[in-house]
Structure 1
Amino acid sequence: MLIEFEKDYMNKYWKIQRAQWCNYFENENYNLSQIDAEIYDTVKLFNKEVQPIDRKSKIASLLMQKDLVDKEPLVSEIRNRIDNLDNYSDNISEDIKADRYQYKLALSYKMKDDVKKLMNTRNALSKQMGFDSYPELVLITDEIDKDNLVHSLNGFLESNLPKAIEIIKKYNIKWETWFSDLSRIGVTKNQYNPIELVNQLLKTFGFDEIKGKIQISFMEKGYAGCASELSPNDIRIVVEPIKSLNNLRTLFHEMGHAILYSLNKEEGIYKILPPSHDEAMAVVIEYIAPMLLILNKTDREKIFEIMTLEYTRCAISSLYEFDLWQNPEIAEELYIKHYSKLGIEINNPSMWASDTFRSIDPVYVHNYVIGAILAEKIFTYLQSENSCNYKEWDAWLSDNIYKDGRKKSFKEKIKGLGDFI
């Protein structure tokens, strides 16, 4: 039964991967809810037939448990509705749409009921399956210990929040203009050729073999960046044109995803990585790349200032989210309580509903912080063990992180660097 499930599931997995990409970046209009329904039917059919008796069957069971909630028809319908902003943009003026903050605020009011309904539905389904909540379902199926994670998030904040507050003061950053301020910080007089930097990165690590598997496009699509594996050896990246160091940082991040997908030698469900593994290793490359490539020293420092701001915000967002799932009725109050830690004025707390990490990618944002913690640990370890012999860095990353996919848990892969997930 496991073989039958894996074959059926992987066919549908690649189908949804390609359809999502085509809808986002190629102006297609695939019915994602219909493909979700096909996946849901598969997991319903095999859920009680595949028992977790070894590593592969355990992974199958974890995938099915999560999909019994995330692919459930009502959840899929609401999520995919929220994912299409055209469903909420009626009667919003073009002047408001031109202002990113005001547009998100207007959307928040319109989509709030759907976001709350989606949260309630996910929570109810998770409890029906025996979990305390939807966040518990996500963390267990991703093989993450919540206590370790919360401890790590708080530890990261303790170390980095003072730095972030100083950077906020230095550049006079406002909550309403957070993302444009990151681009402002990233203004540089230096001209970097992004493709040359990507090639240099791959050559430095000895990853030249994967160059042909990765397609990179630069376009204005409302996304800072995105990477996806549409099928084995068909890996694509979209990032905004490189106008600032923040765009360059995003390119390094998406290359982290692409390298991970390219060097995963497994097949079948071992090919599907948990978000902790996937996102963390993207942050690792985002962190390492500026260290290794020939960038101006001032520019490197600015990139790390941006990373400090972003991953401090992510840590706060994660802790807010855990509180939110327990107390959704005071979402706005919790929003102000948590984000005010940044030392800036937080207006319009209704904005919480337009954050995609509350609906499209819930219980996900903590993975960036796992990556930020891990990146420093991996860089320190590889530098101490192998100095500037970057081919040895490649060998360690390939043997310990990349090549065997989900055959081992991510927690087990990085246990030598600390028990923080």
Structure 2
Amino acid sequence: MSHALQAFIEAHTRQVEPLVVAQSEAYWRFTTTGRKEDEEEYARLTAALRKVYADREAFARLRRLMEEAGLLKDGVFTPNPQVPPLLARQARILYDDFRGLQIDPALIDAITELEKEVEGAFNTFRATLRGRPVTDNQIRQILRTSEDLALRREAWEASKQIGAQVAERLLRLVERRNEGARQVGFDNFYTMSLALAEQDEGELFRLLDHLDRLTRPLFAAYKAELDAELARRFGVEVADLYPWHYSDPFFQEPPEAGDGISRLFEGRDPVTLSRAFYSAIGLEIEDILARSDLYEREGKQQHAYCIHIDRKGDVRILANLQPDAYWAETMLHELGHAVYDKYIDRDLPFLLRTPAHILSTEAIAVLMGRLIHHPAWLRRYLGLEEESLQQALPQALRRHRAKLLIFTRWVLVMAHFERALYQNPRQDLNRLWWDLVEEFQMVRRPEGRDAPDWAAKIHFSVAPVYYHNYLLGELAASQLLMTLRARIGEDEAWIASPETGAFLIRRYFRPGRSVDWNTLMVFATGYPLSPEPFARDLEPAA
């Protein structure tokens, strides 16, 4: 029976591999140019792939073959030591991929069309500020540096303009995703997505509740200090602080007044910094950089992402680089994704030549992005004099801790909101959003505001039921960092040793998706994912 199952998987791979590669190429063209024809091609290929997995006859055959091989009982995957591990792993992944798309073909088309519309709106949107179009970078710059409170408020409001444009379409998309989930036996799309990604909803929210309790007093103390600083800076009472007083449109990042860490990165090329670091730790990125699209251009998506086009090493990054701390961190982050993709064992079957899980690749990206707050990295790669480093060190350590606290609270908003969104998409979402922002981020809602500010967050549209993995990636990053320090040496050592790259390739990158995410954590660090290393990173500096 294993031979028949192997033959099915090989035939399936021959069918989907060219579609996956063509889809990736179309997405790259679309996001780098904004051309309508590339958007249409990407949507067409996405629909074609979904229809492959929606094939009821193929799914029934796969299910029967897995049952005959002893891998499936009553619809639940059951390990069988007599089946080769890589074959069993591919079967498990395929089963979940097929199961999630056993929905009506017309519904697949409707979902694909709506996703295309919403993502297209984000890709080509430019906010309007005082009658002129502005980029996300320009809005971010105003919120970081401007002392003009009226301009800050208008810039913040401009950052939310896209929400009103996409909200109704996004709600229709949520409803259609839910309809599809119900067709395959789940209560809603959120629950289905977690289950098919080898994650348990109950365990996830128990972990989030634990992180809420862990971080609430630390965050409240930090934010009280921050608000006092902002009140002095802007000449207002703490009670009169609003979202536009912070330096990020969603309060995802620690606000700064243009000094400290930010000043250290002014005029510093993110590519040069990244090249020096990744080369030192033995991870080659020149081929990745040569294929990437790194700078702002009209019609191009304003965000950043990494893509592995063919699962054979054609790895690329899209970015909109500026010589500042934000983009230095982003470049280190995206290259973390990129080197993971690049060094997956290419002898693995096509279906397994991806990261173990989205949280696994986020862990590497987060670990690398964090480095702009690490003193040893600042000393080595910015070439700081000891005096300059000592001046920047308190700010670096404070900002690193603040970043982790702020991001944890932000993810709590995102995860709780998205679960509620799919549980009841026609509730008062505008109110719910600000209820959660006030509860978890402790940011006061603007008086009288009733707008779909939540819909301005692109992830709800293009990366549904994904955001919690950023936080799980933070936990995994702290666990990996502890392991690197124990195996190779403290920060001065591991950030400049080829042993770091060798260890990551051998123990983290090469397995790809041949194992599940928690098995990978045990293989790399010796124990399952734990919040304890992350909790230590949240402790105030002595």
- Smaller-chain TM-score bracket: 0.7 to 0.9
Distance of 2:205 and 2:503 partners within structure 1: 28
- Greater radius of gyration (CA): 2
Deviation at 1:193, TM superposition (A): 3.2
Match of 1:268 among 346, 350, 355: 350
**1:322-359 deviation digits (Å, cap 9, x = unpaired):** 22322331322321221113222123452112322222
- Name 2:167's counterpart in structure 1: 112
Deviation at 1:121, TM superposition (A): 0.9
- 1:299-378 equivalences under 5 Å are 300-301=396-397, 302=399, 305-328=402-425, 329-340=427-438, 341-347=440-446, 348=449, 350-378=452-480
Distance of 1:198 and 1:111 partners within structure 2: 35
**1:221-252 deviation digits (Å, cap 9, x = unpaired):** 45342211122222111222233212211111
**1:76-103 deviation digits (Å, cap 9, x = unpaired):** 1111111112899799887275465434
Secondary structure at 1:48 match in 2:
helix
Deviation at 1:380, TM superposition (A): 1.3
- 1:9-408 equivalences under 5 Å are 9-28=16-35, 29-30=37-38, 31=40, 32-45=42-55, 46-51=58-63, 52=66, 53=71, 54-67=88-101, 72-85=108-121, 95=131, 97-98=133-134, 101-161=156-216, 162-163=218-219, 165-166=223-224, 168-169=226-227, 172=230, 174-176=242-244, 178-179=247-248, 182=253, 185=256, 187-190=262-265, 191-208=267-284, 210-215=285-290, 216-220=292-296, 221=300, 223-231=302-310, 232-265=312-345, 266-273=348-355, 274-288=357-371, 290-291=373-374, 293=377, 294=380, 295=382, 296=389, 297-298=392-393, 300-301=396-397, 302=399, 305-328=402-425, 329-340=427-438, 341-347=440-446, 348=449, 350-387=452-489, 388=493, 390-408=497-515
1:230 partner letter = I
CA contact (8 A) 1:148 1:419 kept: no
**Which 10-residue stretch deviates more, 69-78 or 6-15?**
69-78
Deviation at 1:255, TM superposition (A): 1.0
CA contact (8 A) 1:144 1:411 kept: no
Structure 1 residues 312 and 395 mapped into 2: Cα distance closer, same or farther (>3 Å)?
farther
- Name 2:77's counterpart in structure 1: none
**1:10-37 deviation digits (Å, cap 9, x = unpaired):** 2111111111111011343321221122
Distance of 2:321 and 2:177 partners within structure 1: 36
Secondary structure at 1:338 match in 2:
helix
Structure 1 residues 192 and 170 mapped into 2: Cα distance closer, same or farther (>3 Å)?
farther
CA contact (8 A) 2:282 2:499 kept: no
Secondary structure at 1:132 match in 2:
coil
Identity, % of aligned pairs?
15
Structure 1 residues 96 and 106 mapped into 2: Cα distance closer, same or farther (>3 Å)?
farther
CA contact (8 A) 1:148 1:420 kept: no
Structure 1 residues 159 and 241 mapped into 2: Cα distance closer, same or farther (>3 Å)?
same
Compute the RMSD of aligned alpha carbons: 3.1
TM-score (norm 1): 0.88
2:514 partner letter = K
Distance of 1:252 and 1:167 partners within structure 2: 29
CA contact (8 A) 1:175 1:345 kept: yes
Deviation at 1:159, TM superposition (A): 3.5
Structure 1 residues 4 and 167 mapped into 2: Cα distance closer, same or farther (>3 Å)?
farther
Distance of 2:409 and 2:483 partners within structure 1: 23
**Which 10-residue stretch deviates more, 334-343 or 252-261?**
334-343
Structure 1 residues 102 and 63 mapped into 2: Cα distance closer, same or farther (>3 Å)?
same
Structure 1 residues 242 and 105 mapped into 2: Cα distance closer, same or farther (>3 Å)?
closer
2:513 partner letter = R
Secondary structure at 1:408 match in 2:
coil
1:58 partner letter = R
Structure 1 residues 197 and 123 mapped into 2: Cα distance closer, same or farther (>3 Å)?
same
Secondary structure at 2:279 match in 1:
helix
CA contact (8 A) 1:36 1:73 kept: no
- Name 1:6's counterpart in structure 2: 13
CA contact (8 A) 2:306 2:316 kept: yes
Distance of 2:305 and 2:225 partners within structure 1: 27
Secondary structure at 1:207 match in 2:
coil
Name structure 2 gaps, 5 residues minimum: 1-7, 72-87, 135-153, 231-240, 383-388, 532-542
Distance of 1:331 and 1:392 partners within structure 2: 49
Name structure 1 gaps, 5 residues minimum: none
Deviation at 1:379, TM superposition (A): 0.7
**Which 10-residue stretch deviates more, 360-369 or 78-87?**
78-87
Higher relative contact order (CA 8 A, sep 6+): 1
TM-score (norm 2): 0.70
